[in-house]
Amino acid sequence: MANKINVKLIMELKAAGLSQNTIVRTRHISKASVSDVLHIAYEKQISYEDIRDKPDNEVYRLFYPDKFAVETMFKEPDYAYVHNELKKVGVTLKL
């Protein structure tokens, strides 16, 4: 998984008056990431004062709600069926 964007830091630096290019050069963050964060902040009308006291994970979830969704790769097993199968004579846990 790729590193998470430090949204709070980008917003703090922008509120301090730094340009996008300065943030990119000084913090070694991609220009697309900085632009994306500032665009989302503009669309959702979020300022640094709104997120200053919030934890980083909550701020990231505010900006990127879809990226925080948990994806399950496997279907949950039917434990009742497995339990009944294991009750049968001759069935063991060994493969």
Check if the beta carbon of residue 48 is closer than 8 Å to that of residue 23.
no
Mean pLDDT of 8-33: 95
Contact, 38 vs 48, CB < 8 A?
no
Question: What is the average pLDDT across 4-11?
Answer: 92
Burial of 89 (0-12, 13-18, 19+ CB in 10 A): exposed
pLDDT at residue 1 above 90?
no
The reply to whether the predicted model has a pTM over 0.85 is no
| pLDDT at site 20 | 96
The percent of residues in the chain predicted with pLDDT above 70, rounded, is 92
Q: Tell me the average pLDDT across 68-87.
A: 83
Considering only residues 69 and 46, tell me which one the structure prediction assigns the higher pLDDT: 46
